[in-house]
Each structure stands twice: as C-alpha cells, then as structure tokens.
Amino acid sequence: MLSHVSLGTNRFEEAVAFYDRVLATLGVGRVMDLSAQRAVAYGRAFPEFWVQAPCDGQRAQAANGVHVAFLAASPQQVQAFHAAALAAGGTDDGAPGPRPHYGPQYWGCFVRDLDGHKIEAMAWLPAA
C-alpha cells in the first residue's frame, strides 16, 4: 500500500548516524545516499524510509499523532532496536513488550528520535 515514508530532520548528520545504528538491528541499511542533497534512504532492497532535511528549507517538525513503525522479525530485534535507539540518543516512549490492545501476537516498543519523531519497532509473535 505504501511506497515509502520520509521524516524531516534539523540534525542531518546526527540523524543519519542514529538511523544507521538503529535500523541495522532490523537488518535494514542505506540503499540510497544523497547526502549532498541532505537525504538518505533506508530499506532491505529498495528505498522504504527516508531521512532528509526539509526540501522547502523550513525547520522540520514532529507531528503529534504520527509515528513510523518498523517491522522486526522477533521480540529480540525489537529489544535490540530499543536499546540501540536509546544508546544513540533517542528517548524511551514505551519499553519493549506485548501490546495486547493491538492484538494478542503484537510485541513492540516506542522511541523518540533526535528530532522528536515517534518511531516504533514491532514483531508479530507466532499464534499460541
């Protein structure tokens, strides 16, 4: 349904270092590097998630009610994502664990990135 998602940043180099470290825990890496234009795309095979300075030259802002969820293969990857995000300067917004209100197999965590964007890693557990 979606091709990709982009988040704006006011701290481009720091944000790219943050996402390099955090997304690696999910087996995701850079697939396009347009650093000269202040944009980097991440994915497993093609650009799925972009970090970039806003094209209009204005300051990036985190939107209330918006978050980006990254699919993890296991609860261990969710925990590694959370730990890497905190170690890279992100802030905790919901520790790793089950989220039964999203479904009995839902396991996730929430973090705020360096610009205050809410990001999540989540995994679907096998059915009991």
- What pLDDT score was predicted for residue 19? 98
- What pLDDT score was predicted for residue 66? 94
Q: Residue 2: CB partners within 8 Å, gap ≥ 6?
A: none
Spans in the chain with pLDDT lower than 70:
128
- What pLDDT score was predicted for residue 15? 98
What string of DSSP letters covers 27-58?
A: T-EEEEEEGGGTEEEEESSS--EEEE--TTSS
CA proximity to 82, closest of 106, 105, 110, 107? 110
What string of DSSP letters covers 98-117?
A: E-GGG-TTEEEEEEE-TTS-
Q: 23: which DSSP letter? A: H
Hey, what domains does the chain have and what are their CATH numbers?
5-53+66-124 (3.10.180.10)
